[in-house]
């Protein structure tokens, strides 16, 4: 007997988490990527390394430290709670950190590819720093934003280790699709696992396909 | 923004620059002025600091010193006006059009950010001057190199600058595209009421475009002055160049329709040149006299196919291009400013016993126009 309510609950939560995370990442990641792309100081090297860490670190390591950081002596205490772990905001914080490199890297590379020249041209045409950023740098880096948004979203949908460590498995609050699959398999509910896993497979395939199509389209428009 | 205007009556230069500093292991120390109108060429070999100078005048990089353009202080002491508050029109070496905007949007990008926005009348003039009408609806990616550079020039003019800075705008173009743009640039110099700084290491371009020349060498100003004064300055070495030439202003006085030759008045003496129409009688044109086309004679011209002979006086005798050559610096009789060079062999000079102060006749095999025909619409 397949419990569709169960699956849809997990699906809705997953999409919500991925959307909120992607939005936050674009807001926080854009200025960070801009700074990383333009600064040549040692500080930017250190920060760039920190941002990239989730690429190589086991998710459980990040999850462990987040569990501590979100706890009563960390962020949780700050908000007067026992802990932010095992809650949706906690998951968002974890996802933002874990998916950060997938958004910051493409946006940073795109900013770097834009180079100094178009911004200098804009400056000689009376555009101030913010004006240049929004009317020249961002539009010219749009393929990086698109790639970053898609990758950040997809990566958040697929994350498992960090969620397991800090989110646990609370239905409707922290039980996302990847956890649901793990759950179903443990309970030997292979039919449910098949539906979710198959859905994720198709989703991943479509994401990668869409990205290469978008990349080609943008490549045709911009030289 | 506070403006410090020059006191009334004082003839303020269009541009007054005094900049010094280091740019990546390279020392720059330069001071020069440019008049309020016309093209001043910054000439020098690659890596001599011309581009760095231009960039610091625009405020893209900061050197120590002073920049005053059109009576407005852009830099002095601690004061440093950021580039987007300097009314400068900058044309870069490669036409840096914004790839995400249409030609039309590129054209008005700067104008939209000026006080009062896009000036429709000026926009029409610029579109006509640079023949941009057929390009407006095209994508920037479809433009040729020459077309891109024309749009970039138009975009700079439309931003209503007090100063135009052009950094080798032709260097990235092939021969055909260069010849397509040069007439537009010649027109700019005479139609824009502002100083134009034109960076180039190509003397042929400068002969066609510049009114004045500032010679830059190793980050310093080696010489500055009128174009022909520099071209014929023996200290600067242009006269030893195999393609040495002089560029002189001459007024068109008559046109003979039967053989297509026009008569020009060069400081009281006549020159015959082809390629000028009757419509240009009374107009001043620049003629180019190549040193290798000039020969000298003690006596006036006998029967000869050579049309042009000028009465001259020898000002200086210098070593020429090769060991067998001399560069003889000449001035028109009664006009010490009208100088040009004759390239003669040492043997001929010895045979004629040429000496400074000698008055003789310069026969000129061919005199060409230094610039393209005047545009009809002006």
Give the model confidence (pLDDT) of B118-164 as tens digits.
889 899 989 988 889 999 988 898 898 889 999 999 999 999 999 99
- Residue A204 resides in a domain: yes
pLDDT band at A2; cut points 50, 70, 90: low
Q: Does the beta-carbon distance from B92 to A121 stay under 8 Å?
A: yes
Structure confidence at residue B2 (pLDDT): 39
How many domains would you assign to chain A? Answer: 1
Domain range for residue A135?
A: 4-216
Confirm if A21 and A140 have CB atoms less than 8 A apart: no
Nearest CA-CA distance, residue A166 and chain B, Å: 43
Structure confidence at residue A133 (pLDDT): 96
Residue in chain B nearest A142 by alpha carbon: B100
| Cα–Cα distance list, B217 to B30, B47, B165, B214, B293 (Å) | 10, 9, 19, 10, 29
Q: What angle do CA A121, B134, B103 make, to 5 degrees?
A: 25
Q: Does the beta-carbon distance from B84 to A127 stay under 8 Å?
A: yes
What is the radius of gyration, based on Cα positions, of chain B? 23
Q: What are phi and psi of B20, to 5 degrees?
A: -150, 150
Chain B partners within 8 Å of A124 (Cβ): 58, 60, 83-84, 86, 88-90, 110, 156, 159
- Measure the CA–CA gap between B145 and B19, rounded to whole angstroms: 33
Structure confidence at residue B163 (pLDDT): 94
Give the model confidence (pLDDT) of B11-38 as tens digits.
567 899 999 998 777 889 999 999 998 9
Chain B partners within 8 Å of A128 (Cβ): 82, 84
Per 3-state DSSP, what percentage of chain A is helix, strand, and coil (rounded to 5)? 80, 0, 20
Give the model confidence (pLDDT) of B65-103 as tens digits.
999 998 899 999 899 999 999 999 999 998 789 999 999
User: Which pTM value belongs to this model?
Assistant: 0.84
CATH of the domain at A10: 1.10.3720.10
Confirm if B57 and B91 have CB atoms less than 8 A apart: no
Q: Does the beta-carbon distance from A123 to B83 stay under 8 Å?
A: yes
- Residue A222 resides in a domain: no
- What mean pLDDT do residues B241-250 have? 89
Structure confidence at residue B282 (pLDDT): 87
Q: Least CB-CB distance to A124: which of B58, B99, B100?
A: B58
Q: Is B115 on the interface with A (CB under 8 A)?
A: no
Mutate to test the interface with B, among A110, A126, A130 (most CBs of B within 10 A): A126
Chain A partners within 8 Å of B110 (Cβ): 124-126
pLDDT band at B274; cut points 50, 70, 90: confident
- Residues of chain A with a CB closer than 8 angstroms to some CB in chain B: 117-118, 120-129, 131-132, 135-136, 139-140, 142, 222-223
- Residue A130 resides in a domain: yes
Tally A–B CB contacts below 8 A. 69
Q: Which two tokens stand for residue A167?
A: 């989110």
Q: Which of B51-60, B181-190, B248-257 has the lowest mean pLDDT?
A: B181-190
Q: Least CB-CB distance to A126: which of B92, B110, B141?
A: B110
| Cα–Cα distance list, B5 to B12, B72, B73 (Å) | 9, 6, 9
Structure confidence at residue A167 (pLDDT): 80
Q: Least CB-CB distance to A128: which of B60, B84, B87?
A: B84
Nearest CA-CA distance, residue A116 and chain B, Å: 10
Between residues A210 and B372, which one has the greater pLDDT? A210
Q: Least CB-CB distance to A124: which of B83, B99, B100?
A: B83
What's the mean per-residue pLDDT of chain B? Answer: 88
Question: Which residues face B221 on adjacent strands?
Answer: B216
Give the model confidence (pLDDT) of B336-369 as tens digits.
889 999 999 999 999 999 999 999 999 998 888 8
Nearest CA-CA distance, residue B101 and chain A, Å: 9
pLDDT band at B372; cut points 50, 70, 90: low
Position B60 pLDDT exceeds 90: yes
- What mean pLDDT do residues A60-88 have? 80
Q: Does the beta-carbon distance from A117 to B96 stay under 8 Å?
A: yes
Q: Does the beta-carbon distance from B96 to A126 stay under 8 Å?
A: no
Chain B partners within 8 Å of A145 (Cβ): none
- What mean pLDDT do residues A104-117 have? 94
- Measure the CA–CA gap between B220 and B42, rounded to whole angstroms: 11
Position A222 pLDDT exceeds 60: no
Confirm if B285 and B249 have CB atoms less than 8 A apart: yes
Q: Which DSSP state fits A134?
A: I
Nearest CA-CA distance, residue B189 and chain A, Å: 20
Q: What are phi and psi of A88, to 5 degrees?
A: -65, -45
Confirm if B111 and B117 have CB atoms less than 8 A apart: yes
Give the model confidence (pLDDT) of A3-14 as tens digits.
677 788 888 889
Q: Does the beta-carbon distance from B83 to A128 stay under 8 Å?
A: no
Give the model confidence (pLDDT) of B169-193 as tens digits.
998 888 888 888 888 888 888 788 8
Chain B partners within 8 Å of A136 (Cβ): 98, 100
Position B209 pLDDT exceeds 60: yes
Q: How many CB atoms lie within 10 A of CB A27?
A: 9
The owner of tokens 């006749």 is B361
Confirm if A195 and A113 have CB atoms less than 8 A apart: no
Q: How many CB atoms lie within 10 A of CB B254?
A: 13
Q: What are phi and psi of B172, to 5 degrees?
A: -90, 5
Between residues A22 and B373, which one has the greater pLDDT? A22
- Residue A189 resides in a domain: yes
Chain A partners within 8 Å of B86 (Cβ): 124
Nearest CA-CA distance, residue B260 and chain A, Å: 46
Confirm if A171 and A6 have CB atoms less than 8 A apart: yes
Give all domains of chain B, ordered by start, each with its CATH number: 15-240 (3.40.50.300), 245-369 (2.40.50.100)
ipTM of the shown complex:
0.83
Position A113 pLDDT exceeds 70: yes
- Residue A221 resides in a domain: no
Confirm if B142 and B70 have CB atoms less than 8 A apart: no
CB under 8 Å to B335, separation ≥6 — which residues?
B267, B268
């Amino acid at each position: 007997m397949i419990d569709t309510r169960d699956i849809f609950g997990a699906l809705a939560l997953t999409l919500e988490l991925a959307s909120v995370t992607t939005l936050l990442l674009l807001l926080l990641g854009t200025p960070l990527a801009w700074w990383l792309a333009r600064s040549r100081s040692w500080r930017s090297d250190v920060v760039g390394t920190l941002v990239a860490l989730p690429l190589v670190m086991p998710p459980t390591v990040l999850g462990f430290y987040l569990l501590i950081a979100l706890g009563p002596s960390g962020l949780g205490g700050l908000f007067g709670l026992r802990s932010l772990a095992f809650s949706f905001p906690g998951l968002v914080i974890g996802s933002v950190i874990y998916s950060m490199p997938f958004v910051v890297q493409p946006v940073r590379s795109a900013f770097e590819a834009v180079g100094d020249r178009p911004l200098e041209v804009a400056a000689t045409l009376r555009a101030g720093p913010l004006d240049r950023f929004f009317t020249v740098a961002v539009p010219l880096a749009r393929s990086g934003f698109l790639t970053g948004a898609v990758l950040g979203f997809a990566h958040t949908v697929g994350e498992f280790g960090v969620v397991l460590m800090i989110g646990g498995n609370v239905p409707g609050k922290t039980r996302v699709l990847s956890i649901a699959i793990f759950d179903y398999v443990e309970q030997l509910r292979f039919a449910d696992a098949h539906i979710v896993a198959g859905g994720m497979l198709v989703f991943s395939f479509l994401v990668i396909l869409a990205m290469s199509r978008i990349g080609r389209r943008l490549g045709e428009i911009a030289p | 923004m506070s403006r410090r205007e020059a006191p009334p009556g004082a003839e303020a230069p269009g541009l007054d620059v005094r900049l010094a500093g280091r740019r990546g292991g390279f020392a720059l120390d330069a001071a020069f002025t440019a008049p309020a109108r016309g093209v001043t060429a910054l000439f020098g070999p690659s890596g001599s600091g011309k581009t760095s100078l231009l960039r610091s005048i625009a405020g893209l990089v900061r050197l120590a010193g002073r920049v005053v353009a059109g009576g407005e202080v852009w830099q002095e002491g601690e004061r440093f006006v950021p580039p987007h508050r300097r009314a400068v029109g900058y044309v870069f070496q490669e036409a840096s059009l914004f790839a995400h905007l249409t030609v039309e949007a590129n054209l008005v990008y700067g104008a939209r950010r000026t006080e009062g926005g896009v000036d429709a009348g000026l926009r029409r003039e610029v579109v006509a001057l640079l023949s941009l009408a057929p390009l407006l609806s095209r994508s920037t990616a479809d433009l040729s190199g020459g077309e891109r550079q024309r749009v970039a020039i138009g975009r700079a003019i439309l931003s209503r600058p007090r100063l135009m800075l052009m950094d080798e705008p032709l260097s990235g173009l092939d021969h055909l595209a260069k010849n397509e743009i040069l007439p537009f640039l010649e027109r700019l110099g005479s139609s824009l009421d502002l100083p134009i700084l034109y960076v180039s290491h190509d003397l042929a371009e400068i002969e066609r475009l510049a009114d004045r020349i500032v010679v830059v060498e190793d980050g310093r100003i080696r010489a500055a002055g009128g174009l022909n004064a520099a071209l014929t300055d023996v200290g600067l070495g242009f006269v030893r160049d195999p393609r040495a030439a002089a560029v002189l202003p001459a007024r068109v006085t008559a046109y003979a329709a039967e053989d297509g030759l026009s008569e020009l008045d060069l400081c009281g003496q006549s020159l015959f040149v082809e390629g000028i129409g009757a419509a240009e009688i009374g107009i001043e044109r620049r003629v180019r006299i190549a040193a290798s086309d000039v020969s000298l004679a003690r006596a006036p011209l006998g029967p000869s196919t050579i049309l042009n002979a000028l009465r001259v006086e020898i000002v200086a005798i210098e070593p020429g291009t090769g060991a067998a050559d001399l560069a003889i610096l000449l001035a028109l009789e009664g006009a010490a400013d009208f100088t040009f060079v004759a390239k003669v062999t040492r043997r001929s000079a010895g045979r004629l016993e040429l000496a400074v102060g000698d008055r003789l006749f310069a026969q000129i095999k061919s005199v060409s126009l230094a610039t393209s025909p005047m545009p009809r619409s002006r």
